[in-house]
Amino acid sequence: MYPFKFTPILKQTLWGGDKIIPFKRIDNDQKNVGESWEISDVEGSESVVANGYDAGLTLSDLVRKYKHELLGEDNYHRFGKRFPLLIKFIDAREDLSIQVHPDDILAKKRNGYAGKTEMWYVISADKGAKLRSGFSKEITPKEYKERVYNNTFTEVLQEYDIHAGDVFFLPAGRVHSIGAGAFIAEIQQTSDITYRIYDFDRKDANGKARELHTELAKEAIDFEVLDDYRTNYDAEKNEPVELVACPYFTTSLYDMDEAIYCDYSELDSFIIYICVDGACQVKDNEGNEIDLIAGDTILLPATVQDVAITPGEGGVKLLETYV
């Protein structure tokens, strides 16, 4: 095996902007592209390999072909034939709806699928861009419904001004919303279950309001109030900085202007690199080499033992994630 690249799956949305196409250097004139699904095993939106001798295979095909050699022994036993992570870039020209995702127990009871825990890394943010994450005050499920119906729900949500490099961890159950002007990388469980709570009374091109899931969301919401919903970390050069470690994924940031060596010999998992800034070359222990620039995402199989990352002249920022 070798480092896999995939053809991005572009999603046009009501709120999508114009940043993804140039960020990924895609020759495409699509408008309102809100999401680029970089690595996906979601049914109906499966990623297709874009490089090497497995080009043309879907991610599902890769898992069936390579099994634990791709996923890792424990991951293959845990997740079977379903690749466990979904990687996206998201560009919000307008506010996204306020939403929540169910945990594994509720999602499996209702849909037979996994729930959705996720994280955001802010790649860039327009002046004044914001995100909403969690509650700013305690409310009851009864008050929740009342505030949704009388359009005051945003008054009890925690709102943050955002800047490049900000990180938010969003466990299943946390109410959240991406604000206008935010351009982010999202790492999440492989699930497309979203309960839309509030959509700012928007109408689509046909004048219809999008469906809300007020009652379904109520059972999924974690009403706990925290002091701070941001993920605070100390930035370091040329060292991995762990941002999130949870049962579903571990993600670290590499901000590099010098070459580094990564030893994965004790890791029983695939590794994903998401290049969010700059450029680099990645070389594995089998001698496979691949160049990455901002907007690229690659999947390294679990058989990889070690990797050398050499940044380009202007340095590189990579997100590394695995299960």
Active site members: 196
Closest CA to 319 of 267, 268, 272, 259: 272
Q: What is the DSSP string of 193-254?
A: --EEEE-TT-B-TTSPBPP--HHHHHHH------S--B------BSS-EEEEE-SS-EEEEE
213 vs 146: CA distance, rounded Å: 14
C-alpha span between 133 and 129 (Å, rounded): 14
DSSP 8-state class, residue 92: B
Least Cα distance to 189 among 72, 321, 33, 2 occurs for 321
> How are the residues of the chain apportioned to helix, strand and coil, as percentages rounded to the nearest 5?
15, 40, 45
